[in-house]
Structure formats: C-alpha cells, structure tokens
Amino acid sequence: MPRSVNEEVNEALIQPFSPEEVKRASFQMYPYKSPGPDGMSPVFFQKYWHIVGPEITSFVLEFLNNRRFDGKFNYTYIVLILKCESPKYMSYLYPISLCNISYKTASKVLANYLKSILKYIVSESQSTFIPGRLITDNVLIAYELNHYFAHKTWESVGHLALKLDLSKAYDRVE
C-alpha cells in the first residue's frame, strides 16, 4: 500500500500545537454560536481574550500537546431541533451538540491542523467537504461512466451502474 504522507508532511504533523493556533481557532468561531453547558458563547471569549485567553490556551495546549484532559469539561448537551412541524421519524430532527467553548476550541485547532493534510490522506473520489473539491464533480463522473457504458462493446453479458442514495445524520458539517 503506498504511503499517503511524505516526510515533509509527517514533520509538520508531529510539531506541537502553538498558542497562536489556539487564538486563531478561538477567533474563527462564529461569535454568537449556541452556548454549551457552561452557558458561554464564543463572543465572550473573543471580547475578553486578553483576560481569559491564557487560561483557554493553557487548557487546549495541555490537552493537545500532553494528552491531559480534565473530564469536567467533557460535558455535551445533545438537542434535537425540528426540521418540520410534526416530525414522525428521527430523520425529521437536527441533532446538535452544545459543547463547552474550551472543548470547541480544541476541536477547531485540530480541524485547522488536519485541513492542510486532507488532500494527502483522503481519496480523490471523496468530493465533498474537502477544499477545492465539489460534489457536482460526481455528476460529471456519472455522466462520463454512462457515456462509456453506452459506447462500450461488451464481451460478457451486460453491464451495471449502481446509484445509491445515502442519507446522513447531519445536514450541515463544519
């Protein structure tokens, strides 16, 4: 199996996280996101970063660099939001997770970190949620396959194209 990550990317992956990455992640969050169990929204931390920033940074770096995590911050409320007036199935509900800001910040730092290497580790056939790739690319691929099937001389009996409709748990991924 060929390697997906070269030496240069591997070197970047093993570097410790920095305070700058934590601050950047904190300020990338939408200020008025729903508060978590701590009752706080990102706007508070962004506005008073000069006061709370060192504490958040210390918590996030301790978790990401030293793998120490205080369990009291690992509380999440899962809330179901209606997609329609009278839901009959679970698929008619949006599940959202309300996490503490410190937890959200650590997740955002990791997400930013992984964005740079996704192109190396995610298959080229994955066309959604990867920067520079569009889900509409799959329409073109399907058209080309259909054209290929229509003009192919088959030695064996027939051919098959399969279309799958996969539903996902969340309608939106950040």
**Residue 25's pLDDT band (cuts 50, 70, 90):** very high
Residue 24 has pLDDT above 50, yes or no: yes
Structure tokens at 90: 């679970």
With 0-12 CB in 10 A as exposed, 13-18 as middle and 19+ as buried, what is 162? exposed
Residue 42 has pLDDT above 60, yes or no: yes
Q: Most confidently modeled of 26-35, 43-52, 82-91, 98-107?
A: 43-52
CA dihedral 18, 29, 171, 95 (to 10 degrees): 90
pLDDT at 58: 95
Which ranges in 32-168 belong to alpha helices (H)?
42-47, 49-66, 101-115, 118-121, 137-151
pLDDT at 91: 84
Task: Name the residue with tokens 């701590």.
Answer: 38
pTM: predicted TM-score of the whole model, two decimal places: 0.69
Q: How many CB atoms lie within 10 A of CB 143?
A: 10
CB distance 37 to 67 below 8 Å: no
CA distance 173 to 166: 15
Average pLDDT, the chain: 82
The residue among 89, 74, 85, 71 whose CA lies nearest residue 36 is: 74
Q: What percent of the chain has pLDDT over 90?
A: 30
Mean pLDDT (whole number) for 4-23: 88
Who wins on pLDDT, 131 or 112?
A: 112
pLDDT at 174: 44
pLDDT at 56: 94
Residue 168 has pLDDT above 80, yes or no: no
